[in-house]
Every structure is written in C-alpha cells, then in structure tokens.
Structure 1
Amino acid sequence: MKTILLICSGLLLLSIANLPIGYYTFLRIIVTIGAVTIIVKEYQGELNFWLIVFGLIAILFNPIIPVYFNNKSVWVPIDIIVAILFGIKSLTLKRK
C-alpha cells in the first residue's frame, strides 16, 4: 500500500515538467486508482478526513469524466498539494 502511495506522489511531482499529453492521461488513471484504494482501505462505516480528501482527489483526477483546467499553472499547485497528501498518508499508515 505504501508503495502505491509513494508512486502516486512521485508521478504527481514529475508532472510539473512539460510532458506529452499521454503522460497526464496515465497520471489521471494511476492517481484515481491510488485514491480509490485509500478510500476502500479507510472506509469503516463512517466518514473521516482521508475519505473526504481522497474522494475529492478521485473526482478531480478521474479519467472517465475529466476535469480540465486549460492552464498548466492551475494544475501545478494542485499536483504538488496532492503529492504531499499522498506522501503524508503513506507516512501515517500503520504496519500490520
């Protein structure tokens, strides 16, 4: 689980560079999978902070009905914030 979160975080930070459009489609898929994975693991019958945050991330990055901001300068802070959230969540996971 921690590996998935760190991969998502790294890919989000990499997206700050100017990359081909195919990378951003790939990023949407991976980040959505990571966010949904957190939602499934975190859900225990009640809402909590992580469910809400990663639910919003899944909606924002979903590849089926994409949200477009036509300016990269809007996406860069979003990508950084989401990468930090994935990083924080990976640090807060408890080992079983």
Structure 2
Amino acid sequence: MLISKIVSITMLLWALYPENPYGYYVLLRIVLFIVCIFFVIDAKEKLNTPMAVAFGITGIIYNPVISIHLTREIWTVINVLTVFLFGLEGFLFRKPNGGTDEQE
C-alpha cells in the first residue's frame, strides 16, 4: 500500500504541471481509481468508515469510465486535496506503537 500511495502522490503532484499531455490525465484517472478501490477495501477491513467513504468519493471523482469534466483550476484544487487525503490516511491508520499497518 505504501508504494501505491507514493506513486499516487507523485502522479498527483506531477499533474500540477500544466504542460502535461491529455493522455497523462487519463492515466492518472485510471491509476487513482484503482488505488482508491484498494484503499476503500483496506479501510473497510479496518472498520474505518470515514476513510472508506472519503476514498470512495475520491474514486468516483477520478472514475475513468464516466469522466467528470472540470476546469484546470478546479482539478488543481482536487489534486491537492487528494494528496492531503493520501497523507492523512497514513496518520489515521497509525498503530498505537507508532508504526503503520503497511510496515507489517
């Protein structure tokens, strides 16, 4: 899960570069949709309903089949918020001893 989080955050930050070709954003949607599905499943297994809902909504937003067409400025805000969501996920799934479930 850590690798998928790092790849997602890197892709989201790279998406802030305005000169990317359209194909990059299609790839971004596909990757984030798949990663969000895995995070929804993981959050549900850990009984973390708020994070499951957050990643579910994020997955719907990045759905590559039924695209949501927004302006570049709105997508920039959504991408930044998604980076924060992935970062927040690490803190919310932290074990009491300071580790995360991903380090097992």
Tell me if both proteins adopt one fold, taking TM over 0.5 as the criterion. Answer: yes
Residue 44 of structure 1: how far off its partner (Å) = 3.3
The runs of 5 or more residues in structure 1 that have no matched partner are none
Query: 1:7: which partner in 2?
Result: 7
Report the RMSD for the aligned CA atoms in angstroms: 1.7
Query: 1:67: which partner in 2?
Result: 68
In structure 2, C-alpha distance between the alignment counterparts of 1:81 and 1:6, rounded to whole Å? 15
Select the structure with the greater relative contact order (CA < 8 A; seq sep ≥ 6).
1
In structure 2, C-alpha distance between the alignment counterparts of 1:40 and 1:48, rounded to whole Å? 10
Residue 7 of structure 1: how far off its partner (Å) = 0.8
The runs of 5 or more residues in structure 2 that have no matched partner are 94-99
Cα distance, 1:45–1:13 mapped onto 2, change above 3 Å: closer
Task: List 4+ stretches of structure 1 deviating above 4 A.
Answer: none
State whether residues 9 and 83 of structure 1, in contact with CA within 8 Å, keep that contact through their aligned partners in structure 2.
yes
Identity of aligned residues (%): 23
- Deviation sequence 1:18-71 (CA, Å, 0-9, x none): 2100000000000111100101112139661110100000000010111111x2
| Paired residue type of 1:89 | E
Query: 2:34: which partner in 1?
Result: 33
Aligned length: 95
State whether residues 5 and 89 of structure 1, in contact with CA within 8 Å, keep that contact through their aligned partners in structure 2.
no
Cα distance, 1:90–1:6 mapped onto 2, change above 3 Å: farther
Query: 1:17: which partner in 2?
Result: 17
In structure 2, C-alpha distance between the alignment counterparts of 1:36 and 1:88, rounded to whole Å? 17
2:44 is aligned with 1:43: yes
Give the TM-score normalised by the residue count of structure 1: 0.89
| Paired residue type of 1:25 | V
| Paired residue type of 2:67 | P
| Paired residue type of 1:52 | V
Give the TM-score normalised by the residue count of structure 2: 0.82
2:17 is aligned with 1:54: no
